[in-house]
Structure 1
Amino acid sequence: MSTLLPSGDFLCLWERHRSPYSWVSKELKPPEDDQGFTRDDKIPTFYRIYKRKSTEGFQSVPYVAALFSAMLWIYYAFLKSDAYFVIIINAIGCSIETIYIAMYIAYAPKKTRIHTAKLLLLLNLGVYPLIFLLTLFLAKGSNRVRVLGWVCATFSAIAYAAPLSIMRLVIRTKSVEFMPFYLSLFLSLSAIMWFCHGLLLKDFFIALPNILGLIFGVLQMVLYAIYKDTNVSEDRTVQGQRDNSITSIEAPIEVQQTECVV
């Protein structure tokens, strides 16, 4: 499902400072509810984009991948007899991801906007209809569910790997500005819950991709723990340089005033 995958979520989209949400009670809810708070955790990121009228260093790949994944899981759920929550959650996910992508395109630079539009057309209007038609006409009955299950699991794993570019950026810049801790935490919790959900239903196509999701979620939190103080130290250094420059400017002024009084 879309946050079956990072949806990341967990390439994608991210900012440095987040207000802590009340996730403790949500953590105890069923997996279908867990989808919601993973998506809601993106809201501050897009509020920042809206407020600054710029996508800054945020990337569109995780959101496009999440939309594509949600569409696949809806198709998969329709072929199952007991997957109503999967349909509902991913339908909501498709709506939310569509809004995110539309806002991203609205404020992205021209080159990024074109790249995002091409990726969107390729996956959601090209690959998805192709998968739908091939599984509809070339596979029958339980074979169709099995084939589509492997397709969904594969793309779920790819979507979970989408934030690798963000992790590489964190290592290169030693900054977690675009990789918030809470999104990584919720990604890990969501992966755990969906893994358990898949095991309970004996649906390994749901369970297996979330092992990868948990691994990437934990790795992101480890990176955050390593580099979380980098921005603070840099800000303090810059502030210290500014304070020193102000002091050096004010000192001669005081000397001049003293000499004039004398």
Structure 2
Amino acid sequence: MMLCARDVSFTIDRRTIVDRVHLEVAAGEFFGIVGPNGSGKTTLLRMLAGLRPPSSGVVLLGGVPMTALGRRDLAQRVALVEQQAETSERLSARQAVELGRTPHLSALTPWSRRDEAVVTAMIDLVGMAGFAARPWHKLSGGERQRLHIARALAQEPRLLLLDEPTNHLDIEHQIGLLALVRALGITVVAVLHDLNHAAMFCDRIAVMQDGLVCAVGPPPEILTRDRLAGVFNVDARVENDGEGGCFIRYTRPCPVHPRVAFGDFP
């Protein structure tokens, strides 16, 4: 499902958080958003999800303005996994994932065997089958994160939005989760903190700085040494991976000599 943001801005208390962003994400594309902290990535993602209306501009989903879609219709098409997703401590792991079926249920379409099958399949997909009966409050942060992904997938969305989805995950599950999401074949927009993850998995990325999108394109074209220095304030070498992609090698910074010696305190 194609997603388009046309000159969207978001302003609060006279401060512009996102400034006239124009993006087009093709159906089936894995699109990454990167940028330093405070650059507007999460605010933009919430506008793309239809959760925060732009102060100006419009977000289109399949050519239709999101504001024209009802909450139920939107939830059947779009799933968002936020950094700090809330889930009741009283639920089991499986019950948390079952919440993803809510947009598909009504008085005329009650819970069915298909709903059971979808929930089971999504729990299996994220490698949490052995945890389904476990109480939510006894799960680790990484286990909860994988279940949040499973709940989003249980919505059977055509557009999946992820805000730093690898938070709390070890390296095996970081790479495994992004590979899984890429293999789904649906449209994905992900805010990513790790630039090498963006280089490895994204078809295209947008770089944000001070609320603006300053570059959009395939990772090897966008993640240049000059841009990493200018936007992220790091020195790094960008190397070709031999498969049309790239990876980043960061240069160790010079040692910092603190002006305060801890032994000086009484």
**TM-score band, normalised by the shorter chain?**
under 0.3
Q: Scaled by the length of structure 2, what TM-score is found? A: 0.27
Which of the pair is proportionally richer in helix? Answer: 1
Q: Which has the higher contact order (CA 8 A, sep 6+)?
A: 1
Q: Scaled by the length of structure 1, what TM-score is found? A: 0.28
Q: Say which one has the larger Rg.
A: 1
